């Protein structure tokens, strides 16, 4: 079984807007995004995606669900495959555990989101009280609007300032969240003290950690980040990405810089498509995450030795994620400047001119390898080949690899054939894996998928399912009749159950169900698939029921509501709030 806690963490990591937008181009429509529905033919958009609720919904055909449900319906993936696909996109590894492990595993992440949000509010309030912190931000050229946009705060200098905010200061959740540190004597104190605080957000805009920057230049370290927690992994997150996504798409480019202040200062000058790694080198996970936003990524580094070292490390880490459609470039500022100081001195226009003249990855690699190598002697060229070989081995993008190999061969004064005879390089002529066209397949809805799994496992039919199945659409009827049939015939084979169902459900759905059953993938873990489809459908029907109920009650004046209706309204509101959390 895939742990439920992992599935929830995965849904917290992915952004449904990104997931859907990769398959169905979305347009901003108020607080949501819209498009023509991919599940039925229509001329005007009735398909909406909510970034706050992390749900999609079509007002035309009723399609509705999470990022997992979208992949299952649109790409025809199984529940498990959809989980793996989403996990791969955000660099997570899908765990497997037995039911006993699942029941006994501690809910470590419980309460983390709440305490991090509360801490962020505290730091924001403290910034308004500290003239010293305000003056520092003003000296750096930041306006109050930009500080508010990035939710910048201030951690007071006291050792236990948070104790006045959290009554449970000694609880384990405070330590796991990285807000407090415990010394060898067991005494606790605040992790962040006398620092400008930069909240780090996930793709839904929720606070998952902090970065703290010193005010006094004599203090160290200059930047101090939250430790890794169940919500926060440094190698997977990018500072500012939540706010920069739309600007990145509009600019057609993402700018990767080194520090929080660089991101904020650039935004102050209208360059809002900048993000920063969180105290680590850029990783393949970062590249993959940015590739979902744009096909052009520019790394901007200081021109000093530290900046050049960081740039080379970023280039090498990016190689495994490189694709032929991705353009990676490198911009080096004068040694006396960082992005913050450069944009303040020269302005947005000059900075963006520099971005346009950034060095492409292949050119940067060749420049770096030949920078201290004259390539004049046989020994020089052998050393050049030895240094280039492991780099070429890591590039899987066929066209990019081919052109880099050609340039390396030219500089080494070899033919391509001679170089290939000398070096052990991956074969670029392998036939690419054929990907089945998404649009050529017949969409299998979650309802039909659940029915298929239920017919395969009739003994697992659950009377409780009939309580949440509602509606009179054809697929609602199919779902209800299938569950009822399986409850009544728990030991029957699928073919027998089909015959029982034939006259109870719409004929077109019966034919589709019969067809899908004949093509069932026998390698699927049917129990996991059934449980996954059930969880998705329960969530969908709950949302649908809540929306219908709220619409009905909203038409009545408050004074006309009965006590039962008021209680029901509160119940629905509470459930909706839990779902959003």
* CATH value at residue 460: 1.10.860
Residue 110 predicted with pLDDT over 60: no
- Based on the domain organization, do 311 and 200 belong to the same domain? no
**How many domains does the chain divide into?**
5
- Which pair of structure tokens corresponds to residue 326? 């991705």
- Based on the domain organization, do 242 and 216 belong to the same domain? no
Does any domain span residue 209?
Answer: yes
pLDDT, position 107: 46
pLDDT, position 518: 65
Q: Which residue has the tokens 């006993």?
A: 100
Dihedral sign for Cα atoms in the order 126, 132, 135, 139: negative
Of 52-61, 146-155, 319-328, 407-416, highest mean pLDDT = 146-155
Residue 360 predicted with pLDDT over 90: yes
Lowest mean pLDDT among 135-139, 443-447, 543-547: 443-447
pLDDT, position 511: 80
- Based on the domain organization, do 247 and 218 belong to the same domain? no
**Where does the pLDDT of residue 563 fall: very low under 50, low under 70, confident under 90, or very high at 90 and above?**
low
Contact 82/68 with Cβ under 8 angstroms? yes
Between 308 and 199, the more confident residue is 199
pLDDT, position 76: 65
- Based on the domain organization, do 492 and 398 belong to the same domain? no
pLDDT tens readout for residues 488-523: 888 888 878 888 888 888 888 888 887 777 666 655
Contact 153/197 with Cβ under 8 angstroms? yes
- Based on the domain organization, do 575 and 450 belong to the same domain? yes
Between 209 and 471, the more confident residue is 209
Residue 124 predicted with pLDDT over 90: yes
pTM: 0.59
pLDDT, position 368: 92
**Where does the pLDDT of residue 243 fall: very low under 50, low under 70, confident under 90, or very high at 90 and above?**
very high
pLDDT, position 183: 85
**Where does the pLDDT of residue 558 fall: very low under 50, low under 70, confident under 90, or very high at 90 and above?**
low
* Listed residues 77, 104, 131: the one ending a domain: 104
Does any domain span residue 357?
Answer: yes
Residue 577 predicted with pLDDT over 70: no
Does any domain span residue 24?
Answer: yes
pLDDT, position 198: 96
pLDDT, position 574: 52
pLDDT mean across residues, the chain: 83
Does any domain span residue 198?
Answer: yes
What's 54's domain CATH number? Answer: 3.90.580.10
pLDDT, position 428: 67
Average of pLDDT values for 110-137?
A: 92
- Which pair of structure tokens corresponds to residue 513? 């169900």
Between 303 and 170, the more confident residue is 170
Average of pLDDT values for 395-421?
A: 88
Provide the 8-state DSSP code for 469.
-
- Based on the domain organization, do 58 and 156 belong to the same domain? no
Residue 576 predicted with pLDDT over 70: no
Host domain of residue 568: 446-580
**Where does the pLDDT of residue 102 fall: very low under 50, low under 70, confident under 90, or very high at 90 and above?**
very low
pLDDT tens readout for residues 255-288: 999 889 999 999 999 999 999 988 777 887 788 7
- Based on the domain organization, do 9 and 100 belong to the same domain? yes
**Where does the pLDDT of residue 122 fall: very low under 50, low under 70, confident under 90, or very high at 90 and above?**
very high
What's 192's domain CATH number? Answer: 3.90.980.10
Count other C-beta atoms under 10 Å from residue 99's C-beta. Answer: 8
Between 24 and 575, the more confident residue is 24
Residue 431 predicted with pLDDT over 60: no
Residue 437 predicted with pLDDT over 60: no
- Based on the domain organization, do 333 and 408 belong to the same domain? no
Collect contacts of 87-91 with beta carbons under 8 A, ≥24 apart: 87/10, 89/14, 89/19, 89/288, 89/292, 90/10, 90/13, 90/14, 90/236, 90/285, 90/288, 90/289, 91/235, 91/236, 91/283, 91/284, 91/285, 91/288, 91/289
- Based on the domain organization, do 418 and 335 belong to the same domain? no
Contact 260/239 with Cβ under 8 angstroms? yes
Between 184 and 466, the more confident residue is 466
Mention every residue, 6+ apart, whose C-beta is less than 8 A from residue 481: 501, 504, 505
pLDDT tens readout for residues 317-352: 888 778 888 899 999 999 889 899 999 999 999 999
pLDDT, position 24: 86
* Listed residues 80, 104, 128: the one ending a domain: 104
pLDDT, position 222: 85
Residue 581 predicted with pLDDT over 50: no
* Listed residues 366, 382, 397: the one ending a domain: 366
**Where does the pLDDT of residue 104 fall: very low under 50, low under 70, confident under 90, or very high at 90 and above?**
very low
Q: What is the distance between the alpha carbons of residues 515 and 500, in angstroms, rounded to a whole number?
A: 16
pLDDT, position 79: 78
- Based on the domain organization, do 354 and 404 belong to the same domain? no
Does any domain span residue 341?
Answer: yes
Of 56-70, 339-353, 440-454, highest mean pLDDT = 339-353
Residue 83 predicted with pLDDT over 60: yes
Does any domain span residue 440?
Answer: no
Q: What is the distance between the alpha carbons of residues 254 and 257, in angstroms, rounded to a whole number?
A: 10
pLDDT tens readout for residues 126-152: 999 999 999 999 998 899 999 999 999
Q: What is the distance between the alpha carbons of residues 172 and 556, in angstroms, rounded to a whole number?
A: 46
Q: What is the distance between the alpha carbons of residues 159 and 189, in angstroms, rounded to a whole number?
A: 5
pLDDT, position 75: 72
pLDDT, position 103: 39
- Based on the domain organization, do 67 and 117 belong to the same domain? no
Does any domain span residue 362?
Answer: yes
Residue 474 predicted with pLDDT over 80: yes
Residue 408 predicted with pLDDT over 60: yes
pLDDT tens readout for residues 367-407: 999 988 889 999 999 999 999 988 998 887 888 889 999 99
Q: What is the distance between the alpha carbons of residues 476 and 457, in angstroms, rounded to a whole number?
A: 19
Is the bond preceding residue 501 a cis peptide, omega within 30 degrees? no
Dihedral sign for Cα atoms in the order 54, 285, 233, 248: negative
Q: What is the distance between the alpha carbons of residues 506 and 513, in angstroms, rounded to a whole number?
A: 11
Average of pLDDT values for 533-555?
A: 73
pLDDT, position 345: 92
- Based on the domain organization, do 359 and 254 belong to the same domain? yes
**pLDDT > 90 fraction of the chain, expressed in percent and rounded:** 34
**pLDDT > 70 fraction of the chain, expressed in percent and rounded:** 86
Does any domain span residue 204?
Answer: yes
pLDDT, position 508: 80
Q: What is the distance between the alpha carbons of residues 16 and 18, in angstroms, rounded to a whole number?
A: 5
Residue 201 predicted with pLDDT over 90: yes
Residue 294 predicted with pLDDT over 90: no
């Amino acid at each position: 079984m895939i742990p439920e806690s992992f599935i929830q963490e995965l849904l917290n990591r992915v952004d449904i807007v990104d997931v859907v937008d990769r398959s169905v181009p979305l347009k901003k429509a108020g607080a949501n995004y819209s498009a023509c529905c991919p599940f039925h033919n229509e001329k005007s958009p009735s398909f909406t995606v909510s970034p706050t609720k992390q749900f999609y919904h079509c007002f035309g055909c009723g399609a509705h669900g999470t990022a997992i449900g979208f992949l299952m319906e649109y790409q025809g993936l199984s529940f498990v495959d959809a989980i793996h696909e989403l996990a791969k996109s955000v660099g997570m590894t899908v765990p497997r555990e037995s039911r006993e492990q699942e029941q006994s595993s501690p809910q470590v992440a419980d309460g983390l989101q709440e305490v991090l949000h509360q801490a962020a509010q505290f730091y924001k309030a403290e910034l308004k009280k500290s003239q010293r912190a305000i003056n520092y931000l003003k000296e750096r050229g930041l306006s109050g609007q930009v500080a508010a946009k990035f939710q910048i705060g201030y951690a007071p200098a006291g050792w236990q300032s948070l104790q006045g905010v959290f009554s449970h200061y000694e609880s384990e959740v405070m330590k796991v969240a990285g807000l407090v540190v415990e010394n060898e004597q067991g005494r606790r104190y605040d992790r962040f003290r006398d620092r400008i605080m930069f909240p780090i957000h996930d793709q839904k805009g929720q606070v998952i950690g902090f970065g703290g920057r010193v005010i006094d230049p004599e203090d160290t370290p200059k930047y101090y980040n939250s430790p890794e927690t169940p919500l926060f992994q440094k190698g997977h997150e990018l500072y500012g990405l939540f706010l920069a996504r739309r600007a990145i798409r509009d600019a057609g480019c993402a700018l990767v810089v080194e520090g929080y202040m660089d991101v904020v200062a650039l935004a102050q000058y209208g360059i809002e498509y900048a993000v920063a790694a969180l105290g680590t080198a850029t990783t393949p996970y970062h590249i993959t995450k940015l590739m979902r936003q744009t096909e052009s990524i520019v790394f901007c580094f200081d021109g000093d030795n530290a900046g050049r070292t960081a740039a080379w490390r970023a280039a090498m880490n990016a190689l495994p994620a490189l694709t032929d459609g991705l353009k990676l470039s490198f911009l080096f500022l004068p040694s006396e400047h960082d992005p913050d100081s450069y944009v303040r001195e020269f302005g947005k226009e000059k900075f963006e001119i520099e971005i346009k003249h950034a060095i492409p990855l292949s050119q940067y690699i060749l420049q770096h390898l030949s920078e201290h190598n004259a390539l004049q002697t046989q020994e020089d060229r052998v050393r050049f080949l030895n240094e280039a070989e492991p780099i070429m081995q890591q590039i899987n993008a066929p066209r990019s690899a081919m052109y880099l190999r050609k340039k390396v061969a030219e500089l080494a004064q070899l033919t391509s054939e001679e170089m290939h005879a000398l070096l052990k390089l991956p074969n670029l002529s392998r036939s690419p894996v054929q990907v089945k066209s998404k649009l050529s397949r017949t969409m299998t809805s979650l309802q039909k998928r659940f029915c298929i799994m239920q017919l395969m496992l009739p003994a697992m039919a659950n009377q409780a399912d009939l309580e949440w199945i509602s509606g009179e659409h054809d697929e609602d009827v199919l779902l209800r009749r299938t569950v009822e049939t399986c409850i009544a015939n728990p030991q029957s084979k699928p073919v027998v159950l089909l015959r029982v169902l034939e006259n109870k459900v719409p004929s077109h759905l019966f034919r589709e169900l019969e067809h899908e059953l004949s093509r069932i993938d026998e390698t699927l873990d049917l129990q996991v698939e059934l449980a996954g489809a059930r969880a998705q459908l329960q969530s969908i029907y709950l949302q649908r029921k809540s929306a219908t109920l709220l619409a009905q009650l909203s038409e009545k004046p408050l004074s006309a509501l009965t006590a039962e209706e008021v209680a029901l309204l509160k119940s629905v509101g509470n459930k909706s709030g839990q779902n959003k959390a």
